[in-house]
């Protein structure tokens, strides 16, 4: 008996000798910051030396009430929920479908598509954000295509105007027709639009139609501008598209790796019995990956609530904060202007609470549906 107790005691000491260092590191790196964040969120700490500096103490839960009454918080929360929805109901289904197509070799060169879809994940998030910021900028490729279309549209309308008047002539009637095509923005370029435009037309050679079309298009054709992306109803659409594009490949890899653990004979037996690919996916592959799907949903939710670098590098929160999310909202209160550390810590705890709530809901759905990973 004493020998058994001695062995048990030695096992216990060996266990704690291996676990205790990691546990202490965990408390230092994870536990202490969480406790400190809770303390600061209900304090009146205003910065400086935390110990030995200006005294600070308990100030109540006013910061949480301030969050609840701040419209910027609700806008940031709405934007975060959009990201969660796109991540869970966009990235996961697309990743699953793409993984199944690659797994079953239903597309030509599946390895190529696997690499192409995963490629955005190996690019720096800041680089991706700046890349798409350039793409959506007035001088980016979208702007170039739209400006070319606007230019051609204006030139066609201008050529039709000249044809209806018997050809190009620097008359007042032609000038008024051009100003009508140019619209208010074009007329605003002149103090006396008709007279000044007619004088400009006189500077063109009589037979130089290409020069006239090019010159007037440069002056009056519409220019594409991404300012409409500052509208609250569409500002998040480019961000959501980039998030969908960037992270779908990661879930493709996760699902593909777990699909490869399924016994191929099970699928071949189903195919012999007449099951189509859609039925194989629904009745064999999908149930086998239910646990992976839940874990991927948890990963998507937690990542959605911490999507800082990509959105900040793309928009910086937007000129009117229309694309601000909770992590940027927290950053702005912690480091910009006059920092409010209690408020920033309260926001961080709200983010944690929302994340835990969504994860708990996901696990509850898994339990209700009886999902399990084989």
Report the alpha-carbon distance of residue 154 to residue 140 in Å, rounded: 21
Report the alpha-carbon distance of residue 26 to residue 29 in Å, rounded: 5
Partners of 373 in the β-ladder? 289
SS3 58: strand
> Would you state the pLDDT for residue 240?
93
Report the alpha-carbon distance of residue 68 to residue 80 in Å, rounded: 16
> Would you state the pLDDT for residue 207?
65
SS3 272: helix
For the stretch 25-79, pLDDT in tens is 888 888 888 888 999 899 888 877 777 667 788 888 999 999 999 999 999 999 9
- At residue 367, does pLDDT exceed 90? no
Residues sharing a CB contact under 8 Å with residue 97, sequence separation 6 or more, in sequence order:
none
Q: What is the mean pLDDT of residues 124-135?
A: 89
Q: What is the pTM of this model?
A: 0.80
Report the alpha-carbon distance of residue 150 to residue 161 in Å, rounded: 16
For the stretch 187-215, pLDDT in tens is 888 888 888 888 888 888 766 788 888 88
Rounded to the nearest angstrom, the gap between the alpha carbon of residue 59 and the centroid of all alpha carbons in its chain is: 36
Helix axis angle for 209-220 and 141-164, nearest 10°, is 130
Partners of 58 in the β-ladder? 43
Scan for tokens 């139609």, then name that residue.
209
DSSP string of 291-331, one letter each residue: HHHHHHHHHHHHHHTT--HHHHHHTTT-TTSTT--HHHHHH
Q: Mean pLDDT, the chain, as a whole number?
A: 85
Residues 293, 92 contacting (CB under 8 angstroms): yes
Provide the token pair at 54: 């200006």
| pLDDT category of residue 370 using cuts at 50, 70 and 90 | low
| pLDDT category of residue 374 using cuts at 50, 70 and 90 | very low
- What does the buried/exposed string (b/e) look like for 213-245 if buried means 16 or more CB atoms within 10 Å of the residue's CB? beebbeebbbebebeebeeeeebbebbbebbee
For the stretch 222-262, pLDDT in tens is 888 887 777 888 888 999 999 999 999 999 999 999 988 88
Task: Please state whether 171 falls in left (phi above 0), alpha (psi between -120 and 50) or beta.
Answer: beta
Q: Which of 57, 54, 32, 33 is nearest to 43 (CA)?
A: 57
Residues sharing a CB contact under 8 Å with residue 25, sequence separation 6 or more, in sequence order:
none
């Amino acid at each position: 008996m004493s020998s058994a107790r001695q062995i048990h005691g030695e096992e216990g000491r060996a266990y704690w000798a291996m676990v205790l260092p990691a546990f202490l590191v965990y408390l230092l790196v994870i536990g202490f910051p969480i406790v400190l964040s809770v303390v600061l969120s209900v304090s009146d700490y205003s910065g400086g030396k935390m110990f030995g500096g200006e005294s600070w103490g308990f100030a109540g839960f006013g910061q949480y009430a301030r969050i609840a009454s701040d419209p910027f918080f609700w806008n940031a929360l709405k934007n975060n929920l959009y990201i969660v929805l796109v991540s869970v109901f966009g990235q996961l289904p697309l990743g699953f479908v793409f993984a199944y197509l690659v797994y079953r070799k239903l597309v030509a060169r599946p390895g190529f598509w696997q690499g192409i879809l995963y490629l955005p994940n190996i690019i720096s998030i800041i680089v991706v954000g700046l890349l798409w910021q350039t793409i959506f900028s007035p001088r980016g490729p979208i702007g170039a295509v739209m400006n070319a279309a606007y230019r051609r549209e204006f030139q066609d309308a201008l050529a039709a105007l000249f044809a209806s008047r018997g050809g190009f002539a620097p008359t007042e009637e032609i000038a008024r027709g051009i100003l009508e095509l140019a619209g208010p923005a074009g007329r605003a370029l002149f103090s006396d639009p008709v007279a000044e435009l007619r004088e400009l037309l006189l500077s063109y050679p009589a037979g130089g139609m290409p020069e006239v079309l090019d010159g007037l298009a440069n002056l009056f054709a519409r220019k594409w501008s991404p300012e409409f992306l500052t509208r609250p109803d569409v500002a998040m659409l480019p961000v959501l598209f980039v998030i969908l594009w960037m992270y779908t490949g990661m879930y493709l890899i996760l699902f593909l790796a777990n699909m490869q653990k399924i016994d191929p004979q099970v699928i071949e037996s189903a195919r012999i019995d007449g099951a189509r690919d859609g039925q194989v996916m629904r009745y064999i592959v999908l149930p086998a990956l239910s646990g992976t799907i839940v874990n991927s949903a948890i990963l998507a939710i937690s990542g959605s609530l911490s999507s800082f670098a990509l959105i900040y590098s793309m928009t910086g929160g937007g000129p009117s904060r229309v694309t601000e999310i909770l992590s940027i909202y927290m950053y702005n209160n912690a480091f910009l202007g006059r920092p409010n550390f209690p408020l920033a810590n309260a926001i961080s705890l709200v983010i944690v609470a929302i994340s835990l709530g969504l994860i708990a809901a996901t696990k509850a759905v898994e339990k209700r549906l009886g999902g399990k990973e084989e």
